[in-house]
Each structure stands twice: as C-alpha cells, then as structure tokens.
Chain A
C-alpha cells in the first residue's frame, strides 16, 4: 500500500508544484526515490523530529501548498499530537498526515509501534477527516483525493506492503460514501483498512455456507457515511463490524450508535482489538488472533460454522 501511495503522490507532485512530502526518517518505497530525485526541494526529511514535521507542513499550507506528512502511524499522530491539533486542525489546513503501518501491522515491534487508538484520537479532533483505504487501488484513490482537496486536514491511515486487491469488482470510490465490494442480502460486513481482507475471508466462508453477504469498505471513517450505515442496518438481517482498532471511538461503537438511533432490528456483532497492550511477537495475523480477531472465531461467535 505504501508503494501505491508513493506512486500516486509522485503523479500528484508532477501535476502540482505545490505538493510537498515531509517525512520523519521513514520513506515510502516505490516511486519515492523518483520523487526525491526529481523534486528534491519538495521532498523534506526532517529526521527524527516529528513535531517539526507537522509544524513545517502547517507553514507550507499557510502559504497555499499541499503538503503530506509521512511516517509510521504512531509517530505521525501520537508524538506530534498537539501540532496536529493546533497547527492543522485548529487552523483547518489541507495537510495530509499519513499514518503508515497503522493498527498492529508492526506486530513484532511491540506496543510502541502499534496504533490501536488512532481513529478515536484523530476522530475526536474538529475539522479532521479520516481515510483508511482497504487495498492498494483504494489507497491510490484516497491519495489522489488528498492531493487536491482543500477542505482541511486528513489523517490517511494506510498499511505497509503486500495487501491483496479487494476492490476489483467494487463500486467507484467516492469520498464520504460507503463502498460495497460486493452486495448480498443476508449479512453485511462493515470494515475499513487492511483488516478488510479478513472481512472478505469471513464473507467467503459464509457464502460457502449458503449465506448472501455484502462486504463494505468504510474507507471514509470521518465524516462517516451515517446514512449509508443506516441503510446497511435496515437492509440486512445481520451486520458485522470488523475493525483493527480499540473498542472505543472507532467504527464499532459508531455503528451501534446509529443502530440505536434508527431502532435497527438486525443482529449486530462487532469485532475489534482489545482494550489492552498484548505482548505477542508473532506475525500480524498472530497478533490479531491474540486480540480475538480471527475468521474462525468470528464465524463461531456469530453462530456460523468456524
């Protein structure tokens, strides 16, 4: 996903001389070498200095530029949090803060490198928009949108590398709207970001058991498509939320809130990371499983064959 981000950004920088990327000693691979060679004055590496990364992006944006801040998600959002809040959100500047490797992707690196609460934290900030693409092509769409939008700040939550394409047969990507990757009648699985891959696997196994299943990428986490979620809750007998985020402040509690508001009658199950730092040093899948996010367990919990 980071490669497709850098390719889309290079393309945007070629079209717009005001596109900058400010990185903090972490650089996306792919076309970023081409970006830094071709536009060295617009590729800024601040080193291990994330507060200044955000402040510099704010200064560029105050002068009309379209900057991106880029590093591992914990360091792009948590370390410089007050700069994100005051410099970007309070001033409502069109800066994209890229959180790479969000969730527990950096599984073996431990809790210092896990981003379990980013949606809650970024989502609480006025003016902040949040995009979390589910696969590389969706990351391209999101990056292109970020490079031209003038609404205000964006937290772009992306994965790392090797994510499968899930959107081959999906509807077009539209900012602020749910995107159905497939449409079914019985069950609807809402997800966003890299873990959407697990949503697709759960859907495949449910379909093998004779169920008709929708899979939805809620790529725009803020502003959330409340009407779209209400529609999904009304039009399916069962709705499942799968997200790689703490139980608080993410898609799961918001979906429950919408369900309450519309007096939804469907069955609703939510699966999130635990509210815990888990000291497990296996693969990304191992760590997700340690949090309880595993297709078999999800299926058994919802009453299907695991």
Chain B
C-alpha cells in the first residue's frame, strides 16, 4: 500500500479506462459494460493505491466485471493493445470472463460464488510461506447471495486471515432487478459481515480517496470487507441504473453520446 493517494490522478485514470472500455464495446455485441463501470474506482484503487504487485494478489471474483481489469492490465503493460483489440475474437486470448493463464489473471472466474473461497486458499498459502502477501478481491452484490460465498466468509475468520481485503460492488442490481428487492432482509450487508467476525465498512464506491482511506485505516487483525455503494453503469447517464447495460454494447449513436459525456468529465 502506498502512503498517499492522488484522487485527481485517479479520476483521470478512471475516465480514461471508461473511455477505453467504451471503445472496445464497439468491437463486440456485449461486454458487461455497466458491471465494469460500477467497479472502476474500486479496481483502480486496488491496482494503483493498495496493491504491492511484487507481493499481493488481485482476484476478480465478479468475473463479468473484468473489462476494467483488462484495461488496467493493458495500461500497466501486462496485457498488450493487441490482446484487447482481439477481445472476444477467435484468434484472441481474452474472453468475457477472466481466464487463469492469461497475463495478470490470477484465477478463472465467471461463475459467481467461487472467488472468495479461492481467496481464502491463497491467503492461507501466503501465511504458510510468511510472504506478507495480501489478497484483494471484488465481489458483486448478487454474488453475495451464493451460499458458497458465506462458507468462505465463515472460513476467512475461522482461519484468522487478516491478509484478505474484499470489496462488495454494491450497485443494488442483479439480472432481474434490484438486489435489495430480491432479498430485502439481507440489507444492511455490513451487519452480516461484522456478525461473521470481519472488519466491515461502507464507503461511497466511486470515491477513490474514500476507498483508499477505508483500507489504509483498517485495524489489520481481521479480514476486511468494504461494502462500496456504487451505481451500475456509472459515468454514462443513460446507462446508470438501467439493467440492460449489464451486458449490452452501445449503438453508434449511443457511443457518441457516451464519448461526449466522458470527455466533458475531464
């Protein structure tokens, strides 16, 4: 983790990432654009503020949001421009969900509810080898409905693994509607994680500085869950909180409008 975090630089990076994702959207018919925009600031903060990449690991548990990871890895030079240009093409190596074996991808995800258990295993291995490595992950709020996520939630504290920093991208949407309407009794989530022995805080999920500070000020004796209140499709007004943008790619006209909005945010 760095000692300081420059929020202005983070804003510019996130604008740039959203624009790059938008451009790639014109190559394919679908790419989970709303899901990637929802967690843009979270994943950016992990890579540029929190992670020591020589030691720490990031696993994208909500695999469908991986476009944001791909564009960050491209900027870091871990994936190439050619890799992203060949996204979802027969000759390419990047698909809609991240595959282990590709540069910078530490585990295959896509089916929800798998990531947190793998994170627990990784954290155990780091502890066993005394590397000091921390495992970062991002879960979707729909994913937290999976029973397997709660098995892993229980294991992280039962095994005493403070080297886990997890985020819930709490945009309140899943495929068929709002998560809070599907499972009203599930909220607030913060209480649930605290009840399982985690340190848990809630942050505005598009405020990179708040995300950074929430992790920087953690106690460090328990695994940390950051419940990030986010907006699905954040950054392009017509996508925000509109479920169809979970998956769809914009048309040419929609693309032009989105470019205008993102450029105006400079």
Which A residues are within 8 Å of any B CB, using their own CB? 17-18, 20, 41-42, 44, 46-47, 49, 51-52, 54-65, 67, 82-83, 86-87, 90-91
Q: Is B148 at the interface (CB under 8 A from chain A)?
A: yes
B120 touches A55 (CB 8 A): yes
State in angstroms the CA–CA spacing of A52 and B152 once bound together.
6
Could you tell me the dominant secondary structure of chain B's interface residues? helix
Residue on A nearest B125 in the bound complex, by CB: A63
In addition to A51-B117, A59-B119, A91-B100, 17 A-B residue pairs with Cβ atoms within 8 Å of each other are: A17-B128, A47-B158, A51-B113, A52-B148, A52-B154, A55-B116, A56-B117, A56-B118, A56-B120, A58-B117, A59-B123, A60-B125, A62-B100, A63-B121, A65-B128, A82-B111, A83-B148
Complex contact A59–B155 (CB within 8 A) = no
Q: Tell me the dominant secondary structure on chain A's binding face.
A: helix
Q: How far is the CA of A96 from the CA of B124 in the complex (A)?
A: 18
Residue of B nearest to A82 (CB): B111
Q: Which of B146-185 contact A (CB under 8 A)?
A: 147-148, 151-152, 154-155, 158-159
**Residues from chain A with Cβ under 8 Å of B116 in the complex:** 55
* A56 close to B155 (CB less than 8 A): yes
Q: How many A-B residue pairs have CB under 8 A?
A: 99
Q: Closest residue of chain A to B101, judged by CB?
A: A91
B93-148 contacts to A, CB under 8 A, are 100-101, 106-108, 110-111, 113-114, 116-129, 147-148
Number of B residues near A (Cβ < 8 Å) is 31
- Taking the nearest CB of chain B, how far is it from the CB of A235, in angstroms? 43
In the complex, A62→B126 CA distance in Å? Answer: 11
CB distance from A286 to the nearest CB of B (A): 36
| A86 and B114 form a contact (CB under 8 A) | yes
Say which residue of A57, A61, A83 sits within 8 Å of B114 (CB atoms). Answer: A83
Q: Which residues of A contact B117 (CB under 8 A)?
A: 51-52, 54-56, 58-59, 83, 87
Q: CA of A65 to CA of B121 in the docked complex: distance in angstroms?
A: 10
Given known contacts A44-B159, A46-B155, A65-B128, is B120 in contact with A86 (CB within 8 Å)? no
Contacts of B147 in A (CB 8 A): 51
* Bound complex: CA A86 to CA B97 (Å): 12
Contact A58-B120, Cβ < 8 Å, known A49-B154, A49-B155, A51-B151: no
